[in-house]
Copies of this chain bind each other. A is one copy, B any other.
């Protein structure tokens, strides 16, 4: 239990509205976007980097545990407190005032508490955007702390690639503030320390400001659904599209029939786009885009995409069973509804895996076969990013009406899937959600002793205080 004297001190540090204790105020902060539930001792809401520093210094000196949180849209229990009731939530939702746009540099400095949609809304008049495309709407700080990727990774990369600088506050006795870069694209003057705070869930320090690279907003796009003749044709189609379209290619997303079915069934705003309503076993959403308005004498992007698909269509191995060009809004609406649809369809055990690209389809096949044999009640509703090797491998264990699966079943499933992903295929057990409490056992299992020792020493050197949901030391 956090002593009342500490609460009074923290309230003094953070001012009115800076500290929440009422159960009704805490609810939103202690519940995650999927199934994690926790109990917050309090929620601290500092309004400035200086306040974050004072808070962390106080909490470090008194051993008060904090879990940093921004948009709280993550899926691995990385931004919520555990059930002990001993952890406070450090919400950065008041760090919203900084928005320094540098048009010449194509970069912006933002407060950690600004949402992706807000950032991009303010950039749109300048025809710029922060090129991370997600179904959810996280905040800047959380996107950095998880190093999220999203559906346009293939073209624009992840948050790491687009982060030019960070301001970080350490959980040490001084609440040390580190300025790690200010918009330089080239800077090799020692260890690039900001990299260590990207994708590490706030365990080594709390991000309060981010400097992001911006890209030109697409002004033309063309989209298609492709139906490959078989799984074995997918990589050939991708290679052909990369060869023929280069940097035009901005998405190559894979959707299983089961995931599409869940979305169509449970998200009422969607329409079944397939002829006769017959959902293919496997659909690839491809998108090409460019940042300028149509120019005289230039082919439209739809024509470019049709020409390229025509070439692929007539290849000797006939890799395509079907292809539909057009209706980008409808296609993306379906793609972005998959996560919601799967969640609504039953009791979900979700994995965010990644592989070398050629292994995505091989893993799917391997795992489907293994699960069909060993756990036939499990329904695979996967989708992912074949273009970058990411795979959202979702398993439904019984319908919504059924009893939820036992903890033992969930644990067995997790163990089985992650063993195959990591040990058989050399994949990653967390592609773009980082380590939260959910992934902690797999960090503990798969990180080597030496890398664990390095993380533990780095933790002591940066934030010895108890901070973050994940444990690195």
Contacts and interface: CB of A to CB of B under 8 A. Distances in A.
Contacts of A430: 187-189
Contacts of A157: 161
Number of copies: 2
Interface stretch (A145-153, A370-378, A399-407): A145-153
B354 A184 contact: yes
A463 to B, nearest CB: 11
Nearest to A242: B216
9 contacts: A147-B188, A184-B356, A185-B354, A186-B389, A187-B430, A190-B443, A191-B472, A298-B304, A454-B458
Contacts of A385: 186
A290 interface: yes
A246 B428 contact: no
A388 interface: yes
Interface in A175-205: 176, 178, 182-193, 195-196, 198-200, 204
Given A235-B104, A307-B295, A358-B104, A186 B388 contact: yes
Interface of A: 102-107, 127, 146-147, 149, 153, 155, 157-158, 160-161, 176, 178, 182-193, 195-196, 198-200, 204, 216, 235, 239, 242-248, 290-292, 295-299, 303-304, 307, 354-358, 385, 388-390, 426-435, 439, 442-443, 446-448, 450-451, 453-455, 457-458, 461-462, 472
Contacts of A187: 354, 428, 430-431
A188 B199 CA distance: 6
Which of A149, A155, A297 neighbours the largest number of chain B CB atoms within 10 Å of its CB?
A297
A442 B189 contact: yes
B191 A458 contact: yes
Closest 4 CB pairs of A and B: A104-B358, A247-B247, A246-B291, A195-B195
Given A247-B290, A457-B457, 12 more contacts: A104-B239, A104-B357, A127-B243, A147-B188, A184-B426, A186-B354, A186-B388, A189-B439, A189-B443, A246-B292, A295-B307, A297-B303
A81 B191 CA distance: 21
Contact of A292 (B102, B243, B297): B243
Nearest to A295: B307
Given A191-B472, A247-B247, A292-B246, A451 B186 contact: no
A462 B307 CA distance: 53
B161 A161 contact: yes
Contacts of A355: 184
